[in-house]
Amino acid sequence: GIPLAERTNIVLVGPMGAGKSTVGRHLAARLQMPFVDSDRELESRTGVDIPTIFEYEGEEGFRRREAAVLEDLCARCGIVLATGGGAVMRPENREQLQRCGLVVYLRTPVTLQLKRTARDRNRPLLQTEDPRARLEALLEVRDPLYREVAHLIVDTDREHLRSTVRLIARQY
């Protein structure tokens, strides 16, 4: 493994419902690294939840705040970072993430994403008549971006949580 003093970050990217937070928490525990979730960090900085930010500032306002949070978190060292599903939309975010650590794309079928996000009120982009169509449309745009930024791609439907965590830990 990488010596403690030189430890860079592990960055998890992928769509909503990919399991970034779950995998991240387990990975962090295994490697004894702090776990940080950029959406939770944004919420604690603003004191409001994600839907409220979307409501008052729109997606554009959310993306601006998200970029600022990612910039700060990327300056840290030795953390496991779970990003929001749209973190790869801005080119400057992609550059930033790729430079600050091992970027892992948790590739996940839409059906599994749907199952994990069902009845979730905390994801404004899924408050629609047809969440499946929304997830498919988002993935079509973002899958190439996740691939572009990733150093490692893990298929979460083929690996169980435990083997996903082990697989990433071994690459680190």
Please report, as ranges, the residues that interact with ligand S3P according to CB under 6 A: 16, 20, 39, 50, 84-86, 123-125
Q: How far apart are CB 37 and ligand S3P at their closest, in Å?
A: 7
Nearer to ligand S3P, 7 or 119 (CB): 119
Quote the distance between the C-alpha of residue 71 and its chain's center: 14
Nearer to ligand S3P, 2 or 127 (CB): 127
Residue 18 assigned ligand-binding role: yes
Q: How far is CA 131 from CA 15, 46, 136, in A?
A: 13, 27, 8
Rounded Cα distance, 4 and 107, in Å: 29
Residue 84 assigned ligand-binding role: no
User: For residue 46, what are the contacts with CB-CB under 8 A and spacing of at least 6?
Assistant: 53, 65
- Contact indicator for 50, 62 with CB cutoff of 8 Å: yes
Q: How far apart are CB 32 and ligand S3P at their closest, in Å?
A: 23
Nearer to ligand S3P, 86 or 131 (CB): 86
Q: How far apart are CB 42 and ligand S3P at their closest, in Å?
A: 8
Q: Name the closest residue to ligand S3P (Cβ).
A: 84
Nearer to ligand S3P, 2 or 155 (CB): 155
Q: How far apart are CB 5 and ligand S3P at their closest, in Å?
A: 31
Round the CA-based radius of gyration of the chain to a whole number and report it: 15
Q: How far apart are CB 126 and ligand S3P at their closest, in Å?
A: 8
Q: What is the DSSP letter of 36?
A: E
Rounded Cα distance, 136 and 148, in Å: 19
User: For residue 121, what are the contacts with CB-CB under 8 A and spacing of at least 6?
Assistant: 51, 127
Rounded Cα distance, 32 and 107, in Å: 24
Nearer to ligand S3P, 2 or 44 (CB): 44
Binding residues for substrate are 39, 63, 85, 142
Specify binding-site residues: 17-22, 39, 63, 85, 123, 142
Positions at the binding site for Mg(2+): 21
